[in-house]
Structure 1
Amino acid sequence: MALALALPADTVLYLLLPMYAEQFGVTLAEAGMLLAANRLVRIAGYGFVARFYAVRGDRPTCTLAVVAAAICGLGYATLSGFWALLPLRLLWGLAFAALNLSTQALATADAVGAAQRSGRSRAFSALGPVIALPLAALLAYHYGPRTIFWVLCIPALLGLTVTRGLPSLRHPVPMRRGLKLPNSLDVWSFLEGLTLDGLFIIGLSYLGSDLLPGGAVMIAGVILAVRYLGEILLSPVGGRLAERFGAERLLVSLSLVTSVALIGFGAGWLWSCAAAIVVLRALQLPLLAPIVAHRTPGPERVHALASRSVWRDIGAGAGPLLAGVLLPVLSPFWLFSVPALLLAAAAIACGRRPAAVQQGSAAQ
C-alpha cells in the first residue's frame, strides 16, 4: 500500500513528459534521459539501499521513501528544465528501490506460497496508478500537465499512515560484491526492462500522439491505467499459475508470446498489441522473485533480489534513452523487433535451470 500511494507521481510523469516535453522545458531526448535517470541511479545505488534496508528494517526505510515521493510530486508541479528535474528523478530512483526491495523481500520471506504473495503484492501496489493515470490524462487534456502533480502529493504523504504498520526487524546485511558476468536471469531482467518498462511505454506515448494528436493523452492514459489494472486482476493469477505449473516454465511461455506482441506493436498494430502486452506483462510480474528465492535461498536472498532489480533497471533506463533518440529516425518495426527476439532467446535460456539448482531439487 505504501508503494501504491507513492508510485502515481512517477507513472504519471511517464505519460505526460514525452507528450508535453516543451511545457516542462525539455526536449524529447532530454525527456528520455529524465525518465531513465531514476532507474540509472538505482544501478549504482541499489547496494547502498539494500544495506540501509537490512540495517534499518522496513518501517524506517519505507517511511523515508514515501516522503521522498511527495517531494518529487511537488517538484514536478513547480519546476522546469532538465537540470531542475534531474535531482527529483534521482531521489525517486532511490525511494522506489527501497519500496520495491521491501515488497519483494517480505513476499518471499517464506518460500511456501511466495509466488502467490508476490502476485498479491503486485496487485496492491498497482492500485494507485490505476486511479491516477486516467485522472492525469483528463486534467492534462483540460488544464495542462502540471495540475495533477499537486494532487498526487497528498496520497504520497498519506503513505506515512501505512508505513507505521510495517515491521522494523533487521535483515541479514548483504555482502559487498564485485562485478561479475550476468547469468540468464540477469539477461532476461535486462531485456524485459528494456522492452516492457522502457521502449514500450515511451513508444506508446510517442506513436500514439502521432496517430491521435487530439486525444492521444486520453487514450494513452487509459492504456497505461489498464496496464496497472491488469496487474491488479492478473498478477495474482500469474502467481497461482506459477505455483501450479512452475515459475520457470511459465516465464518462458509468456515471454515468447510477449515477443510476438512486441513485433506486432512495432509493425503498426499499436492499440491491440499494446493491450496484449499489458496482459502478458501483468502475468509475468510475480514470476521472477520466487525464481530468485528458489535459486538463492538463505541470507543471500535479499542481495539476489536487489541484483535482479539492478539489471532490470539497466534495461529500463536504456529503453527511454533509445526511444528518445531512435524513434524520430528509425522504423518502429526494427526498434521493437530486435529487442523482442533477444527477449525470447533470453527466456529460453532462463528455462534451463542451473545444475546446482536441479541437483538441490532432486535431493529434496
Structure 2
Amino acid sequence: MTTTSADRQSRNASLALSLTLPVDVLLYLLLPMYADVFQVSIAEAGILLAANRLVRIVGYSWVVRVCASKGDRFTLSVAAIATVVCSLGYALLSGFWALLPLRMVWGLCFAVLNLSTQALATAEPIGAARRSGRSRAFIALGPVLTLPLGAVIAHQFGPRVVFLLLALIALCALMFTRPLSPASHAPLQPSRRWKLPNALDTWSFLEGLTLDGLFIIGLAYLGKDLMPHDAVLAAGLLMALRYLSEILLGPLGGRMADSFGAERLLVVLSLMTCVALVGFGAGWVWSGAAFIVVLRALQLPLLAPIVARRVPGPGRIQALAARSIWRDIGAGTGPVIAGLLLPIMPSVWIYGVAALLLAWAAIACGRSPHPEPQPGI
C-alpha cells in the first residue's frame, strides 16, 4: 500500500468512527446523570457502560477473523448500520435488561471500527505515527461537535431526543465506508488463546481502568455534586474539550513520537497524568480533568506505532487487538468500580491508588526489553 493510499483509507475509516462514536460518548455523559429517565440505578448504569467493553474481551478474536476475511468496506458498513439501531434503542427503550443487548452490540461495532482504523493507520510503516495522530484527530471530530450540542438538548428536552439525532448522524457514516477497499486482509496466523500480560498489556489495562473508566464516570458523578443544576452542561463541555484536545494535540503527539521515541514519551506523559489524577480525586475536579484530557490526547497516538514497530507485517492486527482487549478489560472494570465505590469511599483514595498503579505500569514499560512477546487472542 502506498503512503497516499494509506492516508486516504485511514481518513475514511476514521471519519466513519467519528460519526458513530457520539452514540456511545453521549451515553457516557447522559446515562449517569439521567439514570432515572432510563429507569436504571447508578450501579446498573456503571455495568451498562462497561458492558460494551466487556463483550469485546471475548469478541475481539471473532472480530479479527471477520475483518480479515470480509474486508474493511463490508465490516465497517455493517457496524455503522448496527450503531444506528443502538441509538434508536437508547431513544426508545428503558430498563437494564432492555439496554444491555444494545450495549453488547455496540461493543462489537466499536471493535470493528477501532481495529480497522488502527490497522489502516499502520498499514504503511512510513509515517505510521503521523497517520495515527491524524486518525485520532478525525475520530474526535464527531464527539467534539455533538457533546456540547447534546448536553444543551438534553438540558432542555431530556436525553431521549439526543439519541434520535445521533441515529441520523451515524447513518451518514456509510458515505465514508463505501470508498474503503473491499479486499480482505492477509490470512492470520493461529496463535495461543492466552499468555501472561507483558508491560504494555499492563499499561493498556490500567490506562483503560483510569482514563476510560474511573475518570469518565467520576467526571459525571462528582460534577453532578458540584454543579447540581448545570452539571450536564459543564461535563458535556469538558468531555468535548477531551475530544477537541485529540484534534489539536493528537497529530502533535504523533510527531513528538517520531522525534523523541514513542516509548519514552508514553512514560513521561503517563507520569504527568498520574499527578493530574491525584488532583482530580482530591477535589480539583474541573482543573484536574482539563489536564487529564490534554495529556490523554497526547498519549492516544502512541500505542499503535509501538505495536506496529515491534510486530511488523500482518501479525500487527492481532497484536493491536490484543492490546485493545487489555484496555477494554480495564475500561470495562472502571465504570463498575466507580459505580460501587464513589458513593461510599473518598474519591482521593480511589484516584490516588489508580494513579500509583498507572505510574508503576508506565515505569515498567520504559524498562521492558524490546521487542516484547506478543499475546495471542
TM score, norm. by length of structure 2: 0.93
CA spacing shift, 1:237–1:84, aligned 2, 3 Å: same
2:31 equivalent in structure 1: 17
Offset at residue 356 of structure 1 (A) = 4.5
Determine the structure 2 residue equivalent to 1:108: 122
2:335 maps to which of 308, 317, 320: 320
1:146 is paired with a residue whose SS is helix
Deviation at 1:29, TM superposition (A): 0.2
- For 1:260, the equivalent position in structure 2 comes to 275
Aligned-residue offset at 1:177: 2.3
Match of residue 283, structure 1, among 282, 295, 298: 298
Counterpart amino acid of residue 201 in structure 2 = D
Match of 2:167 among 136, 153, 156: 153
* 2:74 match: 60
What is the 5 A alignment of 1:349-364? 349-356=364-371
Hey, what's the Cα distance between the residues in 2 that align with 1:208 and 1:356? 42
Q: How do residues 10-159 of structure 1 correspond to structure 2 at under 5 angstroms?
A: 10-159=24-173
Which runs of structure 2 are paired with 1:228-239 in the superposition (5 Å)? 228-239=243-254
Q: Count residues with an aligned counterpart.
A: 357
1:183 aligns with 2:198: yes
Q: What code does the residue aligned with 2:328 have?
A: D
CA-to-aligned-CA distance 1:299-333 (integer Å, 9 cap, x gap):
21100000000000000000000000000001100
Tell me which amino acid in the other structure corresponds to 1:209: K
TM-score of the two chains, using structure 1 as the length reference: 0.97
Deviations 1:212-250 (A, max 9, x none): 000000000000001000000000000000000000000
1:305 aligns to 2:317 (yes or no): no
Shift of 1:105: 0.2
1:4 aligns with 2:18: yes
**Deviation of the 1:210 alpha carbon:** 0.3
Q: How far off is 1:39 after superposition?
A: 0.2
Instruction: Point out the more displaced range, 261-270 or 176-185.
Output: 176-185
Shift, 1:172, TM fit: 2.5
Q: 1:203 aligned to 203, 218, 231, which one?
A: 218
Question: What residue number does 2:308 align with?
Answer: 293
Unaligned runs of 5+ in 2: 1-14, 373-377
* Equivalent position amino acid for 2:210 in 1: T
1:360 aligned partner: none
2:52–2:103 Cα contact (<8 Å) kept = yes
1:352, CA displacement in angstroms?
2.2
Please report the RMSD computed on the Cα atoms of aligned residues, expressed in angstroms.
0.9
Secondary structure of the corresponding residue to residue 179 of structure 1? coil
- State which drifts further: 5-14 or 162-171: 162-171
Map Cα deviations across residues 168-203 of structure 1 (whole Å, 9 max, x no partner). Answer: 222133324221100000000000000000000000
**Distance across 2 between alignment mates of 1:4 and 1:310:** 21
Separation of aligned partners in 2, 1:356 and 1:317: 28
What are the superposed Cα offsets for residues 18-63 of structure 1, whole Å, 9 maximum, x if unpaired?
0010100100000000000000000000000000000011100100
**Could you tell me how far apart the structure 1 residues matched to 2:233 and 2:148 are?**
7
Aligned-pair distance for 1:353? 4.0
- Gapped runs of 5+ residues in structure 1? 358-364
The worse-fitting range, judged by mean Cα deviation, of 347-356 and 103-112 is 347-356
